[in-house]
């Protein structure tokens, strides 16, 4: 099922091959053991048995780099970026924002993994530290113009502090540009 056609290089994948995956409700499934191990070692997807499941934002990133071909159904209809994004939007309401943040961080050379839940979108590892150390940063994605309650920020900050991680707000503006803000220690004082 998986093809291995050499394509252009990506900084996070030194030996790049065209990989074929099948779309599902959970993401994109890769069944080639070689491709699954190659991607897993670089911080992509979740490996269970012999199948690697890529989150939609991971699949969109790899597809945009020309590294992944996504197929749908038994007939193997090839999905383009727009069709994959539409499928992604059905599963997650902020799919585009998550993809933009993920793409930006991966393009900067970071390994980006799914957050822990707890209101956190991503865990980010320092360059070269994936598999050697724990994630250094927790990322909370925020879209410009969409309010975020102080209570939510306090809760996420408490979670980050309890995990001894740096919390970073990734604010996506209307043009799709991202500005990162590091939040420091949270202290509450009564007045």
C-alpha pair distances (Å), 40 with each of 32, 50, 57, 123, 142: 12, 12, 15, 15, 28
At residue 180, the pLDDT reads 96
The answer to whether residues 17 and 81 belong to one domain is: yes
The answer to whether residues 34 and 102 belong to one domain is: no
At residue 14, the pLDDT reads 41
Residues of the chain under the 70 pLDDT cut: 1-17, 185-191
The answer to whether residues 70 and 122 belong to one domain is: no
The answer to whether residues 21 and 99 belong to one domain is: no
* 190 part of a folded domain: no
Task: Look at residues 55, 75, 91 and tell me which one is the last residue of a structural domain.
Answer: 91
Q: What is the CATH number of the domain that holds 64?
A: 3.40.1170.20
The C-alpha atoms of residue 42 and residue 11 are separated, in whole angstroms, by 11
At residue 191, the pLDDT reads 62
At residue 188, the pLDDT reads 62
With a threshold of 0.95, does the pTM exceed it? Answer: no
The answer to whether residues 79 and 99 belong to one domain is: no
At residue 69, the pLDDT reads 93
Residues in the chain: 191
Task: Look at residues 34, 68, 91 and tell me which one is the last residue of a structural domain.
Answer: 91
Task: Look at residues 61, 91, 121 and tell me which one is the last residue of a structural domain.
Answer: 91
At residue 1, the pLDDT reads 33
CB 32 within 8 A of CB 19: yes
Q: Residues 114-121: contacts with CB within 8 Å, 24+ apart?
A: 114/55, 115/139, 116/159, 116/163, 118/155, 118/156, 118/159, 119/152, 119/155, 119/156, 119/159, 120/156, 120/159, 120/160, 121/170
Domain interval for residue 152: 95-183
Number of domains composing the chain: 2
């Amino acid at each position: 099922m998986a093809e291995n056609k050499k394509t252009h290089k990506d900084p996070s994948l030194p030996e790049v091959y065209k990989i074929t995956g099948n779309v599902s409700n959970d993401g994109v499934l890769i069944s080639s053991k070689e491709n699954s191990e190659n991607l897993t070692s670089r911080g992509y997807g979740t490996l269970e048995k012999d199948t690697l499941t890529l989150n939609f934002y991971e699949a969109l990133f790899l597809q945009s780099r020309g590294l992944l071909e996504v197929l749908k159904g038994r007939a193997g209809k090839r999905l383009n970026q727009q069709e994959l994004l539409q499928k992604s939007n059905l599963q997650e309401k902020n799919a585009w924002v998550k993809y933009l943040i993920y793409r930006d961080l991966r393009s900067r050379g970071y390994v980006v993994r799914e957050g822990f839940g707890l209101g956190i979108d991503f865990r980010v590892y320092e360059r070269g530290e994936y598999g050697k150390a724990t994630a250094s940063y927790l990322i909370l994605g925020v879209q410009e113009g969409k309010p975020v309650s102080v209570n939510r920020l306090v809760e996420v900050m408490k979670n980050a502090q309890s995990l001894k991680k740096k919390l970073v707000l990734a604010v996506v503006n209307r043009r799709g540009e991202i500005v990162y803000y590091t939040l420091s220690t949270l202290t509450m004082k009564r007045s």
